[in-house]
Structure 1
Amino acid sequence: MVEADRDRALQIVDGLKQAGEFDIHVISERTRLAREITAREPDIVLIDIANPSRDTLEELALATGPMERPVAMFVDRSEAGLSDAAIEAGVSAYVVDGLQPARVKPVLDAAIARFRMFHRMRAELAETKRALEERKLIDRAKGMLMKARGVEEEEAYAILRKAAMDQGKRVADVASALVTAAGLLS
């Protein structure tokens, strides 16, 4: 948790302890945010700040980028555009009008759920992109076989599939090898 005010930090810690078992570490200096998050590798980051700045959000983006984790940010007030900047920096929950101990647990639960949903969506998007790239590669390899052997598309795919089975590889891997070899020969 990031909180510079000791009394306020104690209120938040009490709220978290009432909500369940948590291993809580308070970071009082925002300038050490990236270093502390990297060193401690927390499951979730809770930031309580009166008025966030773009510098704080940049520091947060650097801190949470390599090891993605849910981030809940409680702010007393927010300038125009900062909520969008916070979401882009990786904040899962951005709550304006300060932090109240009774709201901590429900907001953290929402931040975790939202983080997991976006994590699944990013994974699905990455898988879809990978599959599309493989499909393009297979189509390119089929086109090369069709031209070189004078066969139809279905037969070209059958040739790729047989080569993949014979070599114990995926069709996409065989297609990649064919396209790479053809590029070296031309």
Structure 2
Amino acid sequence: MENTRIIIADSRENSRKILQESLNRCGYQIQAEIRNAPELLRRARTLYPDLVIIDANIEGGGVFEMAGIIQEDEIADVLIIAGNDSRQLKDFAHIFKPYTPETLEAAVEICLLYKARFVQIRQQVARLQEDMRTRKLVDQAKGLLMQKSGLTEQEAYRRLQKESMNKGMSMKDVARAVIDSNK
């Protein structure tokens, strides 16, 4: 929480001050206070905060487009503070005015929790993709061993495993070596 960096974007100085005080009491670090929409995008791209809190009525408009850019470019998560309901709010984390400090803190914590889960899922997907690439290489190497040496699939796999253990190499590297030697 104490390392969480937040940008506050609101045209009204009093609103920014209230937000900052509430977030500081919760232990969050305010990286920047922004007064208008164009400045927000520039600063977000420079600072890469964990969360951007935007008032829906910020000067310069285009709040939903800007929030979309910030999220799509994976700059930060976005929490919009809105005065009324809008169809466009459904795409973003949001709270309505008036809000309590407890509501703000809960919304920030939920945003950060979902961000952490998203990062974990993205890492898991990357690992699974790497596992699939390894599996494809191993299958290709097995096929070559079966074709060249007349081995069964199980025997070819065991040969790759044995080679991996004997040479202290990963199955992926052994499979790649088999494929490269048969080119």
Superposition TM-score tier, normalisation by shorter sequence: 0.7 to 0.9
Which amino acid is the alignment partner of residue 19 of structure 1?
C
Measured against aligned partners, the alpha-carbon deviations of 1:42-75 in whole angstroms (never above 9, x if no partner) come to 233222223864421343136x52x5x4432222
TM-score, with length taken from structure 2: 0.77
Note if 1:56 corresponds to 2:56: no
Instruction: Please list every run of 5 or more consecutive structure 1 residues that lacks an aligned counterpart in the other structure.
Output: 87-93
Ranges of 4+ aligned residues in structure 1 off by more than 6 Å: none
2:126 corresponds in structure 1 to 126
Unaligned runs of 5+ in 2: 1-7
Name the counterpart of 1:89.
Answer: none
Aligned equivalents of 1:180 and 1:79: distance in 2? 58
CA-to-aligned-CA distance 1:138-160 (integer Å, 9 cap, x gap): 11211111111001112211221
What displacement does 1:24 show?
Answer: 4.3
2:46 to 28, 35, 39: 39
From 26, 30, 36, the counterpart of 1:29: 36
The one-letter amino acid of 1:100's match is: Y
Matches within 5 A, 1:1-186: 1-20=8-27, 22-50=29-57, 53-61=63-71, 65=74, 69-84=76-91, 86=92, 94-98=93-97, 100-102=99-101, 103-182=103-182, 185=183
Do the aligned partners of 2:71 and 2:77 also contact (CA within 8 Å) in 1? no
Distance in 2 separating the partners of 1:109 and 1:137 = 42
Write the deviation string for residues 70-114 of structure 1: whole angstroms up to 9, x where unpaired.
432222345435523x4xxxxxxx114236251221111111112
Decide whether the 8 Å contact of 1:44 with 1:71 is kept in 2.
Answer: yes
Q: Could you say which residue in structure 1 is the equivalent of 2:3? A: none
Greater relative contact order (Cα < 8 A, sep 6+) = 1
1:53 to 1:78, Cα distance in 2 relative to 1, 3 A: farther
Structure 1 Cα separation of the partners of residues 31 and 21 of structure 2: 10
Structure 1 pair 116–104 and aligned structure 2 pair: CA distance change class (3 A): same
1:91 maps to what in 2?
none
The amino acid of 2:171's aligned partner reads V
Secondary structure of the corresponding residue to residue 25 of structure 1: strand
Counting aligned pairs with the same residue, the percent is 22
Per-residue deviation, 1:26 = 0.6
Amino acid at match of 1:45: V
Deviation at 1:39, TM superposition (A): 2.5
Give the secondary structure class of the aligned counterpart of 2:9: coil
Contact 1:160 1:171 in 2 (8 A): yes
- Structure richer in strand, relative to its length: 2
